[in-house]
């Protein structure tokens, strides 16, 4: 088994594992909040589940470039399973405490980062260059299915079988993913590029300086990180916006409609594979999403919100698939672990900053100033309206305007706009053959 068939087989096993993790993540969060009734405890666990992977990501990437890929993936999958086994045992014996969860989810974050970056960097060793876009689209489609179905299934499972059974299901899902890795032959890096004698820290710096030598790739990463900051802020605001004039069930419906957009967008990219000029796909989709963000919050109409949320999620896979394919083509395989880890660390760092900024700006500035008779209400009220939720609406539109500016800045920067043609494709095919 090789090529796309091998990729799909491994992806199937990982999708089952991801679904189990999604069930546990949602159920554990609900259980912690219901048990402690503390928002601070809940948010602390969220930080613990993301921060280790962000901070240690570049060093993890260096180890990924050093080690045998199959052993690495199997070890990470086994480590993730061990975390859930320990969590399940503590829960079963009524010994699970807050700090147990903090430590365990921190380790889970590290194993998940190894799996994510390791699998992403192994795709180019498995899949022929011409099929990279198709493989990346399939990966995005799977993530969309998990995003759409995981919380819904977890909510139903909590009401029927309880968290203890959910944890057992998660253990089974990890074992399934582990078995699919054990029974296949995963290609490895050629010996001449996989032998490493420098320190991990030196490798991290080497990876960064390598990316710096490709200004179109690194410059694009910085600009798209700023765009992700805006998108993250909008993600934090969209649910409160809908809840300002709709019920929780209607807000949930909007989220489900948006999740369906991911499936449609992923299906389109599997059939189309994106434009030949990958940067055009990235910038075009980003510009369309930014324009939608300006329009989306203006009207308090669920059909209006639902349609544009759906369109955003249809367009998102175009940008993500084109970006992933561009990186896989322009970065040599022996740099993939370091490069992809650095990319994840830089981009993911924008998310918590976006969340915090959105909350602060709304509560301290836009919320009060969009009340009846306030300063911003006098200027923007005729279009965005005044009163509850209208400060959120204006803030989302402004984040959209800022994103438009950033996309146009990227388009006006030749090194970024021409990155897919000015930078040579690395000889991925020969790397694959070298491992045969």
Both structure tokens of 36:
């402690």
> Are both 152 and 213 inside the same structural domain?
no
> For position 311, what pLDDT does the model report?
92
CA distances from 344 to 55, 95, 250 (A): 10, 35, 33
> Are both 124 and 211 inside the same structural domain?
no
> Are both 289 and 404 inside the same structural domain?
yes
> Are both 79 and 206 inside the same structural domain?
no
> For position 295, what pLDDT does the model report?
93
- The answer to whether residue 193 sits within a structural domain is no
> For position 320, what pLDDT does the model report?
82
> Are both 208 and 304 inside the same structural domain?
yes
Taking Cα atoms as reference points, which of 357, 67, 57, 74 lies closest to residue 207?
A: 57
Maximum C-alpha span of the chain: 72
> For position 436, what pLDDT does the model report?
41
From first to last of the 436 residues of the chain, give the pLDDT tens digit: 667 788 888 888 888 888 888 778 767 776 776 677 664 565 577 667 777 777 777 777 777 767 777 888 888 888 888 988 998 898 888 888 888 888 888 888 888 888 877 777 777 778 777 777 778 778 777 776 776 666 667 767 777 788 888 888 888 988 898 888 888 887 766 554 444 455 666 766 777 777 777 777 777 788 778 877 887 777 777 777 877 787 756 766 776 777 788 778 878 887 777 788 888 888 899 899 999 999 999 988 888 988 998 898 888 888 888 887 888 778 777 777 777 777 777 877 777 777 777 777 887 888 888 888 888 888 998 999 888 888 889 999 999 999 899 899 888 888 888 888 877 776 444 344 433 4
> Are both 241 and 179 inside the same structural domain?
no
Domains contained in the chain, number:
2
> For position 86, what pLDDT does the model report?
92
How far, in Å, CA of 384 to CA of 395, rounded?
Answer: 10
How far, in Å, CA of 340 to CA of 68, rounded?
Answer: 17
Identify the domain boundary among 136, 164, 188. 188
> For position 287, what pLDDT does the model report?
93
> Are both 215 and 328 inside the same structural domain?
yes
For 62, the domain range is: 1-188
Identify the domain boundary among 188, 207, 228. 188
> For position 258, what pLDDT does the model report?
78
Both structure tokens of 145:
């299915």
> For position 199, what pLDDT does the model report?
65
pTM confidence score:
0.66
- The answer to whether residue 415 sits within a structural domain is yes
Identify the domain boundary among 165, 188, 211. 188
> Are both 146 and 289 inside the same structural domain?
no
CATH number at residue 42: 1.20.1250.20
């Amino acid at each position: 088994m090789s090529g796309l068939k091998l990729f799909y087989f491994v992806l199937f096993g990982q999708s089952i594992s991801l679904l189990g993790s999604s069930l546990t993540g949602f159920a554990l969060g609900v259980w912690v909040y219901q048990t402690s009734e503390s928002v601070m405890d809940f948010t602390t666990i969220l930080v613990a589940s993301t921060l280790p992977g962000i901070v240690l990501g570049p060093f993890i990437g260096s180890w990924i470039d050093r080690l045998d890929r199959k052993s690495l993936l199997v070890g990470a999958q086994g480590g993730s399973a061990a975390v859930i086994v320990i969590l399940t045992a503590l829960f079963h014996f009524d010994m699970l405490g807050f700090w147990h969860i903090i430590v365990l989810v921190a380790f889970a974050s590290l194993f998940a980062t190894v799996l994510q970056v390791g699998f992403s960097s192994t795709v180019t060793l498995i899949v022929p260059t011409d099929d990279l876009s198709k493989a990346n689209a399939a990966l995005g489609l799977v993530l969309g299915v998990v995003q759409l179905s995981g919380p819904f299934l977890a909510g139903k499972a909590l009401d029927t079988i309880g968290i203890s059974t959910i944890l057992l299901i998660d253990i089974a899902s990890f074992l399934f993913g582990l078995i699919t890795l054990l029974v296949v032959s995963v290609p490895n890096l050629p010996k001449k590029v996989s032998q490493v004698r420098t320190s991990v820290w030196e490798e991290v710096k080497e990876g960064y300086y390598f990316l710096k030598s490709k200004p179109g790739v690194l410059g694009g990463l910085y600009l798209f990180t700023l765009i992700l900051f805006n998108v993250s802020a909008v993600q934090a605001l969209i649910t409160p916006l809908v809840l300002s004039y709709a019920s929780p069930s209607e807000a949930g419906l909007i989220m489900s409609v948006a999740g369906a957009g991911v499936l449609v967008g992923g299906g389109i990219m599997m059939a189309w594979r994106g434009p030949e000029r990958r940067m055009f796909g990235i910038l075009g989709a980003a510009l369309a999403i930014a324009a939608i963000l300006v329009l989306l919050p203006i009207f308090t109409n669920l059909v209006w919100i639902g349609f544009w949320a759906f369109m955003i999620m249809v367009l998102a896979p175009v940008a993500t698939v084109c970006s992933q394919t561009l990186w896989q083509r322009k970065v040599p395989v022996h740099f993939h672990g370091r490069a992809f880890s650095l990319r994840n660390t830089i981009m993911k760092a924008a998310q918590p900053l976006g969340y915090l900024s959105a909350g602060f700006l709304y509560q301290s500035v836009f919320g009060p100033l969009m009340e009846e008779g306030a300063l911003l209400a006098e200027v923007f009220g005729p279009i965005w309206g005044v009163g509850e939720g209208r400060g959120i609406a204006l803030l989302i539109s402004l984040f959209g305007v800022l994103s438009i500016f950033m996309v146009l800045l990227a388009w006006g920067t030749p090194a970024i706009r021409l990155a897919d043609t000015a930078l040579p494709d690395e000889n991925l095919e020969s790397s694959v053959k070298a491992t045969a």
